[in-house]
Structure 1
Amino acid sequence: MNVRRIDPYAERIRRNRLHPRHQEFARPAWRWAGPNGVTRIDPHAIGALGPNGIRRIDRSGAVVETQPLASSPIESGPSRRMVVIDDPAGFVMVVPECPEGRLSDHDRDLFGLARQLADGQTLAVTAVTFQGAVAGLEEAGADRWIDLSATVDGDTHDPESRLAALVSVEAAMSPRHWLFADSFPGGGDLGRRLAARLSRSSSHGANARAATRVWQVAEGLALSRAGDRQDIQRELPRILLALPECAKPVSETRHEARPVSIDAVGSMPSAMTSSMTAVGVVDLGRVAVDPQQIPLSQAPFILSGGRGVGDWAGFHHAAEVLGASEGASRVAVDDGNMPRARQVGATGTFVFASCYIAVGISGAVQHLQGIAKCQRVVAINRDPGCDMVKRADLALIVDGDAVLAAVCERLGQPRAAEPSEAVSEAGSGALSKEEHYHDAA
């Protein structure tokens, strides 16, 4: 009998998009945009095959496909085809935002769009980063890598210095295209600054005018979103500011990401250097922000509680110590433990946190839909078979109140006992002491 086996390690890699081998085990896309902008759906790729061979459709993200993988087993090496370009005819520059020092989903989409522009023309896709160590550039599709961390501090907001570094790269390599993420204040601001700088040069002219909100490139044309059901089509410019999901990430090839050094000072034209002496933006450092004042849909770190939380005072204290925004399941909100504005899920707020910690949440389908776009999910629950544990990238099968109290104590900020709790503990201690004397007698 042909019994279908499930590899839990492969399933965990497939759920975790930050894993280095995620693209190797990810299932193929079942939804894409056609050349005329119409969304196409492959009905054969929707859902997942269960152990009994029946296809189930689960949009919560808790279940992954258990169909046997076409690639090699997990013990073998990567199955991607290696691509090396020794003598490129030109360059396509990609400036990823790299939040928290790693590539985001939007950054991988940019590299996918760059490969559409480079493949077939022997162009080298070059990543230009302001961080010293960025992992995953080889799998993302970068043939070259320019590290500008020695010239520009990637942790500070200094757009003029970043612009000067990009202008030096432009003068040294003269790339065919520049790709930025159309987001503010990251790639959207920097890409527009570069377009304004290059448009002053007579050699570039109107071709340096950036195409914003790009979501598709085909046949030498760029298609940009202008509004609801309205698109702008124009010739492919040198600078493109692309939206998320502008292209499919690279999943079949592996590239070299060969480091390239650029002299940011020596290669910069003197005219441009003199025009950049006046600094218009001064970084005064980070401003402390109350995590509870951040909208839940924009919070990068969320500590969420459910019915399994028994000590809500300790939960609030842990969120304050960790610097996390508070969230809750629908049950916790209905019980009156959290306000309705903090409800996470399809019936509450969809969240896109980099780290989401679920304490005492079983994982209803509406809640799992709300956290489908979170990068890392940590579940703390007593039930090892709940759906939240199956969805999580890391699961702790233990009491959530005890874990939060231990974390606060480890960080040197334990919660002070309430007067009522102190009296209760004193009473219970005295009672146990009397019982001890009674037993000894």
Structure 2
Amino acid sequence: MANQVKRVDPHIERIKRNRLHPRHLELTATAISMGPNGVIRKDPHKIGFMGPNGIKRIDRANLNQASGSSVNQMQIEEQKPKHIIESPTRYIVVLPDLAAGRLSSHDKDVLGYAHSLANENTAVIAIAFGEHKETGWQDAGVDRLLELNDDIYQGFSPEARIQALVQIEQSLDVAHFLFPDSIDGGADLGRRFAAELDSRPVTHGWKPLEDSIICRASAGTQDLTKTLSKVMLLDAEVADPIDETQHAASTLDELELAVSAKALINDLGMLAVNPADISLSVAPFILSGGNGIRDWDTFHQAASVLGATEGASRVAVDDGFMPRHRQVGASGIWVSARVYIAVGISGAVQHLQGISQVDKVIAINTNTKCDMIKRADLSIIADSTDILNALVELVQAQEISEGESHAA
């Protein structure tokens, strides 16, 4: 019977409770493992750590390796099974929008759908027109990457892009061209390309079936089932993004494209818009203030200098510091910004619900234990006024430097 008694080493238990101990990460990195089918699995019974009072805690601030620290994240990346297509005989081409220079959640959904159509000899090609900042192609499901960043592809250049796509269609065995059906460029380019091929495209595809897809019609009031076509324009959430495998994303350099399309429309760049005139629901960059702000003049100045749309928590609105139409949250406006800076916001559950679709959250707060800090991708623990003043100074110094370089 003595051998059946589970022994607990009190010394090891103390190390597990002490995040500062050199062996803490070593003894707590057991929450994530590789399943028998090569898929990363999390053991819910092993996530967290025992607190000093004997109660199990889940470290939502990512300070404990077992619940997702950067060290453990590196181990997860190393453990991801590799998905390598050495000599593909068939291709599926995805044209991501790359809004703000990076893959959006919509782009990743389309890449996920591409792999649902692929077989063992099919490679997914992502084509990036113009300059971009994306570095995570491998984790998004890209087997081959074709970067077309010549001057002819910059800005709004549908003639050049379509000519390049036509040559790709003629050079490779492409089963499908997939576009996000979005206002960021995919909807326009996809329909133009379908017209060039004289092919009837699938539009607003949102629910895949075995050999067809259900599409939205009549302004979203009806559903139509369509067969798969050469050109397909897909809605967001058409499929789950790739997150359990790592792909090669090798450069596709064997293609030689000769594009000489003359632009019929002269792109003069983006029209400057006052961020204050942009609705919170569509604003790409939001600076949001809460109860922790003591200097609202500095907040407004920072929003103006940074070019951000102003938002606020319910407490700030109820106290009269911001108008009601700037309230973010379940009881206000749901936002989907690319970047959301929460200044002095503790993170009530209603507010966190309202920012659930935000890509990157930056929190500025003095309370290291507030829920907004736990939700944020980047946290700054400091006085909000000092941080906002520093941001304003940096932007103004950058503008002066750029002005001097242009003058020279």
Tell whether the structures are fold-level matches, with TM greater than 0.5: yes
Q: Which residue of 2 aligns with 1:150?
A: 150
Matched residues in 2 for 1:65 and 1:402: separation?
A: 29
Matched residues in 2 for 1:100 and 1:185: separation?
A: 10
* Matching of residue 263 in structure 1 with residue 271 in structure 2: no
Change (3 A) 1:80 1:209: same
User: What are structure 2's unaligned runs of at least 5 residues?
Assistant: 1-7, 26-37, 398-408
Residues 11-43 of structure 1 deviation map (CA, whole Å, 9 limit, x = unaligned): xxxxxxxxxxxxx99988xxxxxxxxxxxxxxx
Matched residues in 1 for 2:292 and 2:67: separation?
A: 36
> 1:152-167 counterparts in 2 under 5 A?
152-154=152-154, 156-167=155-166
Matched residues in 2 for 1:218 and 1:94: separation?
A: 19
> 1:113-262 counterparts in 2 under 5 A?
113-120=113-120, 122-132=121-131, 134-150=134-150, 152-154=152-154, 156-199=155-198, 208-226=199-217, 230-261=222-253, 262=255
**SS at the partner of 1:240?**
strand
Offset, 1:346: 0.6
Change (3 A) 1:412 1:387: same
> 1:17-416 counterparts in 2 under 5 A?
52=55, 73-74=72-73, 76=75, 78-120=78-120, 122-132=121-131, 134-150=134-150, 152-154=152-154, 156-199=155-198, 208-226=199-217, 230-261=222-253, 262-265=255-258, 277=262, 279-412=263-396
Report which of the two structures shows the higher radius of gyration computed on alpha carbons.
1
Matched residues in 2 for 1:381 and 1:125: separation?
A: 42
Further displaced range: 294-303 or 133-142: 133-142
Further displaced range: 358-367 or 218-227: 218-227
Asked if 2 retains the 8 angstrom alpha-carbon contact of 1:92 and 1:126, the reply is: yes
Offset, 1:397: 1.9
Offset, 1:91: 0.8
**SS at the partner of 2:164?**
helix
Aligned length: 357
Matched residues in 1 for 2:87 and 2:66: separation?
A: 41
Offset, 1:151: 5.8
Asked if 2 retains the 8 angstrom alpha-carbon contact of 1:143 and 1:255, the reply is: yes
Matched residues in 2 for 1:323 and 1:182: separation?
A: 28
Matched residues in 2 for 1:211 and 1:407: separation?
A: 46
Offset, 1:263: 2.3
Identical aligned pairs, as a percentage? 42
Asked if 2 retains the 8 angstrom alpha-carbon contact of 1:308 and 1:381, the reply is: yes
Offset, 1:377: 1.2
The one-letter code matched in structure 2 to 1:140 is A
Change (3 A) 1:297 1:190: same
Change (3 A) 1:5 1:138: farther
**SS at the partner of 1:135?**
coil
Change (3 A) 1:301 1:88: same
Change (3 A) 1:54 1:321: closer
The one-letter code matched in structure 2 to 1:192 is R
Change (3 A) 1:79 1:302: same
Change (3 A) 1:381 1:26: farther
Matched residues in 1 for 2:209 and 2:162: separation?
A: 29
Asked if 1 retains the 8 angstrom alpha-carbon contact of 2:177 and 2:230, the reply is: yes
Q: Alpha carbon RMSD of aligned pairs, Å?
A: 3.4
Matched residues in 1 for 2:98 and 2:150: separation?
A: 17
Matched residues in 2 for 1:181 and 1:371: separation?
A: 22
**SS at the partner of 1:310?**
coil
Further displaced range: 176-185 or 377-386: 377-386
Change (3 A) 1:310 1:283: same
Offset, 1:364: 0.9
Query: What TM-score, normalized to structure 2?
Result: 0.78
Change (3 A) 1:26 1:293: farther
**SS at the partner of 1:168?**
helix
**SS at the partner of 1:299?**
coil
Query: What TM-score, normalized to structure 1?
Result: 0.72
Q: Which residue of 1 aligns with 2:3?
A: none
**SS at the partner of 2:322?**
coil
Offset, 1:341: 0.5
Matched residues in 1 for 2:17 and 2:171: separation?
A: 54
Residues 115-150 of structure 1 deviation map (CA, whole Å, 9 limit, x = unaligned): 111124x11111111145531221211221111112
User: What are structure 1's unaligned runs of at least 5 residues?
Assistant: 11-23, 29-43, 56-60, 200-207, 414-441
Q: Which residue of 2 aligns with 1:419?
A: none
